[in-house]
């Protein structure tokens, strides 16, 4: 009888030790696997989560515009061109000027800071911007990626210089005097009377009531992207090609 009890005790102890060992091994395995799974989350998933979290589709920004903006942003950041990586600004020229098509996004805190009207060049179109140019005196908007510069007080008051980052597409921005400034013709009352806001000589002009706050939020080294589903731009931009050809 003693022998049987001893055998049962030994079996019980062995079973208990086996269960503890198996449980400990499972915990260690899970601890190793979990970080690896997190590391597999790529930037595309993070970009999508920002777009969905802020509900930018409800605000009117197309997902394609946002995704392209983030692709070029990554390229410029890698090249050391962006000093302020917390903010990105997107002008969606697939939208008419009667809609709020400037989006200033806080990437760090996942917030839409500003969504407001913005003008395009008078020779780019009336309600919609459909043609673009990098040439002097073309009075057209230029698509692509810019880095914001310093501020100054000029003809249109408090303004923000823009440096075009794409050769042959918008790199004449400084020579053309393409800046962000305020304009009385960027106003909803004009939409009610004529169906569209006024147009600039190529500058992304914004409303007088909000221009100073917008400029203060994006000045000195943040990324600005002027988007359009334009075939010429898609065929010639190197920033987006570099990011998609890798």
Each of the 246 residues of the chain gets a pLDDT tens digit; together they read: 444 445 454 545 555 444 445 444 443 333 333 343 334 345 555 666 899 999 999 999 999 999 999 999 999 999 999 999 999 999 999 999 999 999 999 999 999 999 999 999 999 999 999 999 999 999 999 999 999 999 999 999 999 999 999 999 999 999 999 999 999 999 999 999 999 999 999 999 999 999 999 999 999 999 999 999 999 999 999 999 754 443
Cβ proximity of 200 and 124 under 8 Å: no
Which of these, 108, 123, 107, 118, lies nearest to 60 by C-alpha position? 118
pTM over 0.85: no
Which helix (H) or strand (E) element contains residue 144? strand 144-154
Region for 177 from its dihedrals, namely left if φ exceeds 0, alpha if ψ lies in -120 to 50, beta otherwise = left
Question: Which string of DSSP letters, residue by residue, matches 111-128?
Answer: EEEEEE----BTTS-SSS
How many angstroms from the chain centroid is the CA of residue 101?
A: 13
Residues 6+ apart with CB under 8 A from 218: 84, 87, 89, 104, 148, 160, 224
Distance CA 101, CA 103 (A): 6
The strand pairing partners of 88, in sequence order, are: 105, 223
């Amino acid at each position: 009888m003693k022998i049987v009890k001893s055998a049962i005790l030994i079996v019980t102890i062995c079973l208990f030790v086996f269960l503890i060992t198996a449980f400990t091994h499972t915990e260690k395995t899970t601890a190793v696997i979990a970080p690896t799974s997190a590391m597999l989350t790529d930037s595309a998933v993070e970009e999508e989560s920002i777009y969905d979290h802020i509900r930018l589709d409800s605000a009117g920004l197309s997902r394609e515009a946002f995704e392209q903006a983030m692709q070029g942003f990554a390229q410029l950041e890698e090249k050391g061109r962006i000093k302020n990586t917390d903010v990105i600004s997107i002008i969606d020229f697939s939208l008419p000027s009667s809609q709020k098509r400037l989006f200033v996004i806080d990437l760090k805190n996942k917030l839409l800071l500003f969504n407001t009207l913005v003008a395009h060049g008078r020779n780019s179109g009336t309600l919609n911007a459909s043609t673009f140019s990098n040439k002097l005196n073309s009075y057209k908007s230029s698509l692509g990626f810019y880095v914001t510069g310093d501020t100054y007080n000029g003809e249109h008051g408090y303004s923000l210089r823009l440096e075009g980052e794409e050769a042959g597409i918008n790199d004449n921005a400084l020579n053309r005097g393409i800046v962000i400034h305020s304009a009385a013709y960027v106003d909803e009352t004009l939409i009610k009377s004529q169906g569209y806001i006024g147009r600039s000589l190529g500058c992304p002009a914004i409303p007088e009531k909000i221009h100073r706050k917008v400029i203060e939020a994006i000045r000195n080294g943040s990324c600005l992207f002027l988007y359009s589903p334009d075939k010429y731009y898609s065929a010639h931009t190197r920033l987006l090609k570099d990011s998609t050809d890798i």
